[in-house]
């Protein structure tokens, strides 16, 4: 029986483990990947010397090293497929189950799906995917690469590819005109100016790349693989099309647990409801990092530390006074890290067409190959949400369990019903959160 | 509240039972409204196993056995009319089916059960079955594991895609002019003989007939209409594997291959009230039995699993009634919405349309519990 | 189609993608190996038979399901390469 089980060895999970161990808690950390780091510091132990990835990435090595030294039990390459928080029982594969008094979900984010025409063609990928190729294999897309979408990652990746001698032939930025003014009005830029300056540095380094701004009507075209990217008013040949419209919390596990969720209007996604320490609506579960709302890795580190302090307090290892005292500086760090969010959220708000494709032919469910038009028809028949649409259309029954289509399906239904997106509850995932074999299950 | 909207029938419950009856009534030419809950609800129709199954139903209750057989017989016609109405292929396949026995004791018990059902069937609708020993069974299902000692077989059994069925029934119902109202949990109702008002979704519906097919919700709803529906939730869990190329020629009670290729592995029974949480220990038991039945299944990935609540009448046998106090009010309660869809759409609905349940449904009345409880 | 940067990460592990040998860096995933091999597809869907390549590379989209060392429908982006690993295209539903 561990005091604290942490799901995910990204910034939040690693920071929580280090803090919890320092407070004397026994800690189990589980991660699907073979090494700690999460997606942001993916493979940093192997790749920190690659200058192309930049200094911020290499800085993650320190966090990984302190995690390795923390004395937490680390089970890499391990999948959580069921969690019973009442019993504190984690079903894990490979290897057996584990027990913990408290569970911290630090499962991070996933890229927001970008359902455009042709996005299932080979050669179309998420920008995060290209970055993972860079981090885990030092590899870059060959041939003509086009980046399309928006967000901080777009410019970071553009610069990384440029440094690696694989600069994109074209950047199609989807941010509409006039957003910068809105972003400055949203505030936070002064307090968050350190991050803002970092972003400006990237933009400076990206100078010289061909950029088309305020792009709409994106689509991928080609026979058997992507060959062209087209948009309203233009088109270009390409071999790899990388899409990105920001990231959203990975809510599969928290939703499956039935944790209370709230609609995040700024980021147009659901996120688990947590208190100042990350404690969720179940009294033995906390959520920290991007999984509780997108804030970036610095905020995730702080959130992880706060969740660890709270765990120690709840388990009687830290007094209320001790908690308050230790939390104060972490809280300041957390607020600092989040300062630029209003600016970024306003600048990079996803357009309506990204959230609910206008074209009925666009495939929204990649697994079961279901189009936007079919979802709209199911909504007109009376499906009130993604759970009913799932029974009618199989959207969410495929291998990804709705990770790629759930939000889009809900959005399309909201559109047809004429209701606000937050009135359509999200897909309710079930275990196994990730596949396991019948034999593995039978061997329990 | 808005002005009352008049219909010839109000059906409460948009699951498989309610929508099969609703389609049957709409096909009879009645102007119907179908009231349903919303996206999040206890829906057995989302969680069932998809068998059209006669061989396990009605032991000790010959009327239930007969009704199930009628339904299995009516199923091809239901599938055909749904194909005609909305072009739906619900994947009906009735090649007969087997119940696998994993020990000599299971085999002996099963043989007794089948013999009793054959006795109870009598000669009017004889119940043909065979107990098949392992060597012959392997010829039918070559992937069987060494633990399988045999099976019972009846030619009446089969399976269907229950989700396509639900979708098709909804499309056929609305295509025939039926009105579907979601998020319409019954808030209030007024009952008088052949004169009913139901308030739901901020609207008022009135009709000379009301059919209660609200699943577990019937327990609370029925008394409002002078009826009784003693049903309880019974949890079942099911596992689904990745798709595999067609491999089984017939369904079994615990493993079947869907028309998409997935294997469904089921299903468990637990009396846990209104609890749909999944239990790894129960899931492991399902997996174990599936692997003993067909060892190759061990290698397959489980891509999905769920638990859902059956609507279980007190004695396991379906309940059908017309209200004595308020004629025109009917209930339908069962845990076999798939198997009985044929009977509900093609036999029960015409009775409801005509205003009178056939005498063969008398033994299904909930009044049977009054007698028993009084005794 | 992806290319390695030997100056950053030398390709030291030999794997076979649809039977063709390809050298990839240690730490790469089986899905990355397919991209580095320049394969036209990692799977053909069981619905329409359409070709797919990995989309997310982080375990979310399940578009990288492939046959890895004889085991079908493996999430190839979640498996690190090992010397001699055989990665083949998943063609529709699994055959048993």
Cα of C28 to nearest chain A Cα, Å = 5
Could you tell me if A123 lies within 8 Å of chain C, comparing CB atoms?
Answer: yes
> Residue A444's pLDDT is what?
64
Of B143, B244, B296, the CB nearest to C93: B244
What is the helix, strand, coil percentage profile of chain A, to 5? Answer: 40, 20, 40
Per-residue model confidence as pLDDT tens digits over B183-229: 999 999 999 999 999 999 999 999 999 999 999 999 999 999 999 99
Average of per-residue pLDDT across C78-85: 97
Instruction: Give partners of C (≥3 CB pairs < 8 A).
Output: A, B
**Six-digit token string for B64:** 């239930």
Contact B242 C92 (CB under 8 A): no
Residue in A293, A310, A263, A261 with CA at minimum distance from that of residue A104: A310
* Nearest-angstrom CA–CA distance, B116 and B114: 5
Sorting pLDDT into bands at 50, 70 and 90, what band is B365? very high
DSSP string over A314-348: HTTSS-HHHHHHHHHHHHHHHHHHHTTHHHHHHHT
> Residue B372's pLDDT is what?
57
Q: Which residues of C touch B260 (CB under 8 A)?
A: 46
Instruction: Flag whether pLDDT at B1 surpasses 90.
Output: no
Instruction: Fill in the DSSP letter of residue B347.
Output: I
Instruction: Fill in the DSSP letter of residue A402.
Output: T
Query: In chain B, which segments carry CATH 3.30.9.10?
Result: 231-313
**Which residues have C-beta within 8 Å of that of residue A193, sequence separation ≥ 6?**
none
pTM of the model: 0.95
Cα of B210 to nearest chain A Cα, Å = 21
CATH 3.50.50.60 matches B5-50+163-230+315-367: yes
Contact C57 A129 (CB under 8 A): yes
Instruction: Flag whether pLDDT at B49 surpasses 50.
Output: yes
Contact B301 C73 (CB under 8 A): yes
Q: What is the rounded (10 degree) CA torsion for A386, A389, A390, A395?
A: -90
Domain ranges of chain C: 12-91
Query: CA B182, B183, B189: angle at the middle one, nearest 5?
Result: 100
> Which residue blocks in B87-144 are alpha helix, DSSP H?
104-121, 134-140
Among all chains, which residue has been given the structure tokens 């019974």? B234
- The pLDDT mean for chain C works out to 96
Cα of B323 to nearest chain A Cα, Å = 30
Per-residue model confidence as pLDDT tens digits over B87-120: 999 999 999 999 999 999 999 999 999 999 999 9
* Nearest-angstrom CA–CA distance, A99 and A88: 5
Q: Which fold has domain C12-91?
A: Ubiquitin-like (UB roll) (3.10.20)
ipTM: 0.98
Query: In chain B, which segments carry CATH 3.50.50.60?
Result: 5-50+163-230+315-367
> Residue B43's pLDDT is what?
86
For an interface test with C, the pick among B142, B144, B241, B245 (most C C-beta atoms closer than 10 Å) comes out as: B245
Of C25, C51, C56, the CB nearest to A126: C56
**Six-digit token string for B98:** 């087997």
> Residue C36's pLDDT is what?
98
Could you tell me if C96 lies within 8 Å of chain B, comparing CB atoms?
Answer: yes
Q: Which residues of B touch A383 (CB under 8 A)?
A: 39, 182
Instruction: Flag whether pLDDT at B375 surpasses 80.
Output: no
**Which residues have C-beta within 8 Å of that of residue A335, sequence separation ≥ 6?**
none
**Which residues have C-beta within 8 Å of that of residue A331, sequence separation ≥ 6?**
A276, A302, A306
Interface of A with B in 377-406 (CB under 8 A): 378, 381-388, 390-394, 397-399, 401
> Residue B158's pLDDT is what?
98
Of C2, C58, C63, the CB nearest to A140: C2
Query: CA A298, A303, A305: angle at the middle one, nearest 5?
Result: 100
Per-residue model confidence as pLDDT tens digits over A123-134: 999 999 999 999
Instruction: Give partners of A (≥3 CB pairs < 8 A).
Output: B, C
Size of interface A-B (CB pairs under 8 A): 115
Per-residue model confidence as pLDDT tens digits over B246-302: 999 999 999 999 999 999 999 888 888 888 899 999 999 999 999 999 999 999 999
Contact A384 B183 (CB under 8 A): yes
Residue in A295, A291, A267 with CA at minimum distance from that of residue A103: A291
The correct CATH number of B231-313 out of 1.20.200.10, 3.40.50.1980, 3.40.50.300, 3.30.9.10 is 3.30.9.10
* Nearest-angstrom CA–CA distance, C37 and C18: 9
Q: Are A282 and A257 in contact (CB under 8 A)?
A: yes
Q: Which residues of A touch B39 (CB under 8 A)?
A: 383-388, 424-425
R_g of chain C computed on alpha carbons: 13
Contact A125 C56 (CB under 8 A): yes
Q: In the beta sheet, which residues pair with residue B179?
A: B33
- Positions of chain A with pLDDT under 50: none
* Nearest-angstrom CA–CA distance, B111 and B109: 5
Residue in B58, B77, B84 with CA at minimum distance from that of residue B69: B58
**Six-digit token string for B100:** 């696998």
């Amino acid at each position: 029986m561990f005091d604290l089980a942490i799901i995910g060895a990204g910034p939040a999970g690693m920071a929580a483990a280090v803090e919890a161990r320092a407070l004397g808690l026994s800690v189990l950390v589980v991660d699907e990947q073979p090494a700690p780091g999460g997606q942001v510091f993916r493979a940093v132990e192997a790749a920190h010397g690659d200058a192309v990835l930049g200094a911020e990435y290499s800085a993650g090595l320190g966090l990984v090293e302190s995690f390795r030294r923390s004395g937490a039990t680390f089970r890499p390459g391990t999948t959580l497929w069921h969690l019973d928080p009442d019993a504190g029982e984690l079903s894990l594969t490979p290897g057996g189950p584990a027990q913990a008094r408290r569970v911290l979900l630090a499962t991070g984010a996933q890229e927001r799906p970008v359902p455009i025409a042709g996005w299932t063609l080979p050669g179309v990928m998420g920008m995060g995917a290209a970055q993972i190729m860079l981090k885990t294999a030092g590899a870059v897309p060959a041939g003509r690469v086009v980046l399309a979408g928006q967000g901080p990652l777009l410019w970071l990746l553009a610069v990384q590819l440029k440094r690696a001698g694989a600069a994109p032939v074209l950047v199609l930025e989807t941010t509409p005109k006039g957003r910068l003014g809105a972003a400055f009005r949203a505030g936070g830029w002064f307090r968050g100016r350190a991050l803002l300056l970092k972003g400006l540095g990237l933009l400076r380094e990206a100078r010289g790349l061909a950029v088309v701004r305020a792009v709409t009507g994106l689509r991928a075209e080609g026979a058997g693989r992507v060959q062209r990217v087209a948009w309203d008013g233009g088109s270009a040949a390409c071999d790899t099309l990388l899409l990105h419209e920001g990231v959203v919390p990975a809510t599969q596990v928290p939703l499956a647990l039935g944790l209370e969720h709230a609609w995040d209007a700024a980021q147009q996604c659901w996120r688990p409801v947590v208190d100042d320490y990350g404690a969720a609506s179940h009294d033995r579960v906390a959520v920290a990092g991007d999984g509780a709302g997108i804030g970036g890795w610095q905020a995730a580190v702080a959130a992880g530390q706060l969740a660890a302090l709270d765990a120690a307090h709840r388990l009687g290892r830290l007094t209320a006074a001790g908690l308050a005292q230790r939390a104060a500086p972490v809280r300041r760090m957390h607020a600092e890290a989040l300062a630029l969010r209003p600016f970024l959220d306003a600048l990079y708000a996803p357009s309506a067409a990204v959230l609910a494709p206008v074209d009925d032919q666009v495939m929204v469910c990649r697994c079961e190959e279901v189009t936007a038009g079919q979802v709209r028809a199911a909504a007109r028949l009376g499906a009130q949400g993604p759970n009913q649409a799932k029974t009618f259309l199989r959207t969410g029954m495929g291998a990804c369990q709705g990770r790629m289509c759930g939000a889009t399906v809900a959005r399309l239904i909201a559109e047809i019903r004429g209701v606000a997106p937050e009135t359509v509850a999200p897909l309710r995932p079930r275990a196994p959160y990730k596949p396991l074999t019948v034999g593995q299950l039978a061997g329990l | 509240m808005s002005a009352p909207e008049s219909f010839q029938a109000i059906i409460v419950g948009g699951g498989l039972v309610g929508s099969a009856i609703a389609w049957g009534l709409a096909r009879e030419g009645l102007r119907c409204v179908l009231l349903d809950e919303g996206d999040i609800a206890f829906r057995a129709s989302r969680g069932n196993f998809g068998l059209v199954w006669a061989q396990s139903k009605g032991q000790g209750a010959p009327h239930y056995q007969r009704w199930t057989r009628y339904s299995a017989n009516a199923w091809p016609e239901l599938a055909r009319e749904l194909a005609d109405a909305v072009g739906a292929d619900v994947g009906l396949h009735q090649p007969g089916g087997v119940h696998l026995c994993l020990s000599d004791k299971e085999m002996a018990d099963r043989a007794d059960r089948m013999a009793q059902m054959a006795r109870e069937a009598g000669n009017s609708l004889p119940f043909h079955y065979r107990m098949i020993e392992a060597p012959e069974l392997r010829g039918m299902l070559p992937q069987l594991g060494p633990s399988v000692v045999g099976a019972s077989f009846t030619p009446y059994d089969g399976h269907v895609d229950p989700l396509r069925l639900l979708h098709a029934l909804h499309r056929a119902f609305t295509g025939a002019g039926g009105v579907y109202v979601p998020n319409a949990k019954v808030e209030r109702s007024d009952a008088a003989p052949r004169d009913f008002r139901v308030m739901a979704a901020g609207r008022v519906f009135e009709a000379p007939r009301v059919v209660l097919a609200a699943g577990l919700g019937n327990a609370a709803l029925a008394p409002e209409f002078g009826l009784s529906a003693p049903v309880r939730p019974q949890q079942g869990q099911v596992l689904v594997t990745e798709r595999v190329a067609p491999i089984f020629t017939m369904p079994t009670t615990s493993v079947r291959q869907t028309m998409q290729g997935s294997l469904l592995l089921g299903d468990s029974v637990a009396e846990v009230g209104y609890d749909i949480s999944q239990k790894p220990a129960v899931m492991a038991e399902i997996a174990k039995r599936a692997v003993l039945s067909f060892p190759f299944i061990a290698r397959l990935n489980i891509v999905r699993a769920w638990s859902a609540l059956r609507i279980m009448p007190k004695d396991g046998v379906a309940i059908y009634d017309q209200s004595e106090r308020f004629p025109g009010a009917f209930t339908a309660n069962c845990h076999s919405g798939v198997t009985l869809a044929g009977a509900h759409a093609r036999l029960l609905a015409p009775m409801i349309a005509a205003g009178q349940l056939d005498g063969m449904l008398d033994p299904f009345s909930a009044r049977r519990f009054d007698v028993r409880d009084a005794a | 189609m992806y290319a390695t940067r030997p100056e950053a990460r030398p390709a030291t592990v030999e794997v076979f993608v649809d039977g063709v040998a390809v050298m990839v860096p240690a730490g790469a995933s089986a899905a990355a190996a397919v991209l580095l091999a320049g394969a036209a597809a990692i799977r053909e869907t069981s619905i329409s038979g359409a070709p797919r390549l990995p989309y997310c590379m982080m375990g979310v989209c399940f578009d990288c399901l492939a046959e890895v060392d004889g085991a079908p429908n493996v999430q190839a982006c979640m498996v690190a390469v090992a010397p001699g690993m055989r990665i083949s295209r998943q063609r529709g539903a699994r055959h048993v």
